[in-house]
Amino acid sequence: MTGFGRGEATTDEWKIEIELAGVNRKQIDISINLPNSLLEFEVEVRKLLAESVSRGRLGAKVILNHNGSTEDRLVFDQKMAAQYVEAAKSLSESTGIETRFTAADLFRAPGLFKIEEAIAHPADLKPPLFKALDQALEQLISMQQQEGEHLRRDLLARIDTIVNEVSRIRKLAPTVKDAYRNSLHSRLAEAGLGVDPNDERILKEIGIFAERSDITEEITRIDSHVAQFRTYIESNEAVGRPLDFLCQEFNRELNTIGSKANDATIAQAIVNSKTELEKIREQVQNVQ
């Protein structure tokens, strides 16, 4: 599910900012960008994120800024500078070449100057790191919950549409056998065959068709899947994968009904149901 969260925390010397960005994805994929001084906490950060988000691509960016009284310092190696000066004098005396050596020349000499940066100690930064992470997660989850509520209403509306189509199928199912009997008698009459409607062979054929076209079991299973679907939708747990599995089962039962029930009206109801089911499957990919 999509969402964004931001958190920050400070110490006397440092400020930590965290940005979390989540987008839809079927599986969980976590990407973490930590500064070098916080790399040792990557495993703990990843574990916390994985416990909070079960599906989707989640990117975490951690920014560390120095805001304390300890400033970066320019350090000058006086002993090495003296060696440079002595070397210049020695070269001048040995070659007779006048060497003009100024302070500006020292700035170009390697190794004389370096910047000593303020050092971040990981142990001091761990509490603010996870404080900022908790804030970011709270915002991210809040946004995902709002999106989840919209998804919940949409999914329930679509499952209601499927229920209505299945109700039509349930009412039509008993008429399929009678329609087949009438069709069979009609074809026999058109063929000019004087067959008694109560002929044992005709009754047997109708009985076999009735048994093969019985969809009571499939409709019962669909009713069960609908009840489970609604239970999952109202749950506060991560239900994306169970819902995905139920969609597969819905599709299986609808396909079976379509192959059994030799009826145009039932076939149309199956098409309508599968159209809604496909939209549900797409939406379920975004559910945690």
CA distance 75 to 2: 48
Residue type, position 167, single letter: S
140-153: per-residue pLDDT in tens?
988 888 888 888 88
For residues 13 and 29, the answer to whether their CB atoms sit within 8 Å is no
**Looking at the chain, how many residues does it have?**
288
The arithmetic mean of pLDDT across residues 64-92, rounded, is 75
Q: What is the pLDDT of residue 190?
A: 61
What are the start-end ranges of the H helices in the chain? Answer: 42-52, 78-95, 103-107, 122-190, 200-212, 216-233, 240-260, 264-284
For residues 140 and 146, the answer to whether their CB atoms sit within 8 Å is no
Q: What is the pLDDT of residue 138?
A: 92
- Residue 68, Cβ neighbours under 10 Å: how many? 12
For residue 69, pLDDT beyond 60? no
Domain positions in the chain: 3-69+120-141, 73-116, 144-284
Q: Residue 274: what are its φ and ψ, rounded to 5°?
A: -70, -30
Q: What is the pLDDT of residue 71?
A: 59
* Pick among 1.10.10.60, 2.60.120.10, 3.40.109.10, 3.30.230.40: CATH of 3-69+120-141: 3.30.230.40
CA distance 263 to 184: 14
How confident is the prediction for the chain on average, in pLDDT?
81
Residue type, position 99, single letter: T
The arithmetic mean of pLDDT across residues 21-35, rounded, is 84
Q: What is the pLDDT of residue 195?
A: 58
Residue where the block lists tokens 């329609």: 179
Percent of the chain scored above 90 by pLDDT? 29
For residue 42, pLDDT beyond 90? yes
For residue 180, pLDDT beyond 70? no
pLDDT grade for 75, boundaries at 50, 70 and 90: low
Percent of the chain scored above 70 by pLDDT? 80
120-138: per-residue pLDDT in tens?
788 888 999 999 999 999 9
For the full predicted model, state whether its pTM sits above 0.75.
no
247-262: per-residue pLDDT in tens?
999 999 999 888 777 7
201-217: per-residue pLDDT in tens?
665 665 555 556 677 78
The arithmetic mean of pLDDT across residues 55-82, rounded, is 77
The token pair at 85 is 């000066």
Q: What is the DSSP letter of 238?
A: -
188-203: per-residue pLDDT in tens?
556 565 555 565 666 5
CA dihedral of residues 269, 270, 275, 278 (deg, nearest 10):
150
pLDDT grade for 171, boundaries at 50, 70 and 90: confident
Q: What is the pLDDT of residue 194?
A: 59
For residue 38, pLDDT beyond 80? yes
The arithmetic mean of pLDDT across residues 44-69, rounded, is 85
CA distance 151 to 232: 13
Report how far apart, in Å, the C-alpha atoms of 233 and of each of 148, 228, 261 are.
10, 9, 31
CA distance 175 to 1: 45
